[in-house]
Chains A and B, each alone.
Chain A
Amino acid sequence: MRRNVAIIGCGQTKHSSKRRDVNLAEMVSEAVYNALEDAQVSPRDVDAFVVGNMQGFGGIAQPEQWLGDSIGAPGKSVIRIATGGTTGGSVGQGAYYTVASGLHDVAVAVAWEKHSDSKEAGATTGLLHVGLGNFFHAASYGLSLKNLVATSAVGAAAGVAVYQAMFYMYRSGCSIEHFDMVAAKARRNAAKNKYAHLQWPGCTQEDIAKTEMVVYPFRYGHICPASDGASAIVVAEENLARKKARQPAWFKGLAAYSDEENQLQSENFGGVGVLDPSEQKGCWMSATKAYEMAGIKDPKKEIDIAEVYQPFPSQELIFAERLGLFDEGTAWMALEKGETDIDGRMPLDPSGGVNATNAIGSTALQRILECALQIMGKAEEHQVPRKVHNAVAHGWGGVTSYITVTVLGDSPGR
């Protein structure tokens, strides 16, 4: 029998492209201690840590062995989780399992990235899954260098998401101007979030449209930054949660589904069987399962805000639909009407989201953390102007196929 579990404290670091004032261990502990302080929990009361960042990023293979001392982990249970871009989402869900299972009463989930420590962001070991062996194997069969330049340099400059965006534009009828709108909104919202990276008060669609085209349909202004930063949440069982927090953010439902690899090449240079990479079946499956667990029948009506994983603006639209918040192909129309603004009917990424702040390993945990802040009423300047009963947090990564969906609420729901 699973126990009710809630988030009772949140902590973040300021995000920027270079946190030279701290090393990795100092940066991560900053987030942990901020979260413990927010929860009014002493480091002694923590039973378990669930930690994570992108595999190999910053040039460090086993960061948990370095930073363990700094966060007070010795003598405690420690698990590190790395699931690509979804890492933070899996770390947050891992802390839930730790407490819901009855194994521990208080767990801290902490996730981070410190890109700037390594000149090369870690892509050699971190981003290439089967890719490295695959690449050299294909190279031994005379891989065309021009093709390689096109797919790995031109395409990857804007990430695998650029193809997704093109598919979505085609089937939904939205245009590049809608991507400008999402990016401008992300920077405006980020300006209200003191921890965010790319802050631009009053940023307009026109401001973004003036930025250089990286690869059509993505402009420079559409693309997320690489941020240094960390985020942490304190997760507790029901009795302690009720004692410590005036308004805990309860875990109501969660799920994580994957789909087959749906972009570029599969293993051994093979083709891929997903004809539309913006289909994102894993997200739809995760959302369906998480809502079912949360007792949410109509997410359009019952979800008050969403933190969507959107390093690229097209993804806010694609995934908001997959999360059941808008009908197929209509999220851009809601955007046009201002429904997704901070004060709109369905605010998307009131924090500015990944598009404004991207410490990769941390970003999906930040989505959960931001939903918790909105429920707890602690989002300060970017708090949405109405009571948040239910919020949904999303994570995307692992090339294109791993998804986490977490539903939080102002009551445990059972």
Chain B
Amino acid sequence: MGYVKEERPMTIGVEGTWNIGSYHYKGSRLIEEYVKGLKQKKLIGSFCPGCGKVIVPPRNLCGRCHRIMDRRKIVSNMGTITCFIVSPPIEKGKLKVLGMDPVETGLIKEGEVVIPVFVKFDGSDSNTDTILLNADPKAVHIGMRVKVLWVKEPQGALSDFEGVEPV
């Protein structure tokens, strides 16, 4: 292999972009049902006739018993934190999401601590991942009781559900 390496001792940088263009995806109607529920400040889950699990947001198939989860159940707006992680204070220039700086665009305040959490809503058997708002980062713990923080006027969008806050 030596001869090739000697001929070209280093790789060279080549500038270029890779546009993957548009995308076809068989989106499910479940998400539509779910956001309709959000508009009425209701959390809809799917019920598994095999093992009785309720999953929020709803899904088509039960992962363990492979049954079609064709029944719905409304679960409570209250739940328990099963897991959390804590970001350091986020500063401008530290994070990039989809090419934008979330501090610069105002999504996150300068110095804000973001706390992603898993919540098991009462009546469900799943973790829903969201964020904990209006909470002291030092006080957050597993088992903490929380409730959904809704936007003032729900539109029937995923963003109606802003996150959860301590009860």
Contacts and interface: CB of A to CB of B under 8 A. Distances in A.
B67 to A, nearest CB: 12
Interface stretch (A20-28, A332-340, A387-395): A20-28
B28 A267 contact: yes
B30 A152 contact: no
Given A20-B10, A270-B59, A275-B126, A146 B107 contact: yes
A142 B35 contact: yes
B28 A21 contact: no
Interface of B: 1, 4-5, 8-11, 18, 20, 23-28, 30-32, 34-35, 45-46, 53, 55-60, 62-64, 82-88, 90, 95-97, 102, 107-108, 114-116, 118, 120, 124-131, 142, 155-163
Given A144-B162, A148-B97, 17 more contacts: A21-B9, A21-B10, A29-B1, A124-B20, A136-B23, A136-B25, A137-B25, A137-B27, A141-B157, A149-B97, A149-B114, A150-B114, A155-B116, A261-B63, A266-B63, A270-B55, A272-B126
A63 interface: no
A355 B142 CA distance: 27
A266 B142 contact: no
A162 B116 CA distance: 11
Contacts of B125: 273, 275
Contact of B60 (A141, A162, A268): A268
Interface stretch (A186-194, A211-219, A242-250): A211-219
22 contacts: A22-B11, A29-B1, A124-B20, A132-B20, A132-B23, A136-B25, A138-B158, A145-B107, A145-B159, A146-B108, A149-B97, A149-B107, A150-B116, A154-B116, A163-B118, A166-B83, A215-B86, A268-B31, A271-B45, A271-B57, A271-B124, A272-B127
A267 B82 contact: no
A153 B88 CA distance: 12
A151 B46 CA distance: 23
Interface in A238-291: 259-262, 264-277
A142 B157 contact: yes
A409 interface: no
Contact of A141 (B32, B108, B126): B32
A91 B113 CA distance: 42
Contacts of B5: 21-22, 26
B157 A213 contact: no
At the interface, is chain A mostly helix, strand, loop or mixed?
Answer: helix
Contact of B159 (A144, A261, A265): A144
A22 B58 CA distance: 49
Interface in A352-380: none
Contact of B58 (A125, A146, A270): A270
A145 B95 CA distance: 14
Give the bracket for the number of chain A residues in contact with chain B: 35 or more
B25 A134 contact: yes
Contacts of B160: 142
B127 A33 contact: no
B95 A149 contact: yes
A39 B93 CA distance: 51
Nearest to A213: B88
A273 B57 CA distance: 11
Contact of A143 (B83, B107, B158): B158
A271 B56 contact: yes
A30 interface: yes
A205 interface: no
A117 B18 contact: no
B126 A271 contact: yes
Contact of B63 (A29, A260, A269): A260
Contacts of A30: 1
B27 A273 contact: no
Nearest to B129: A264
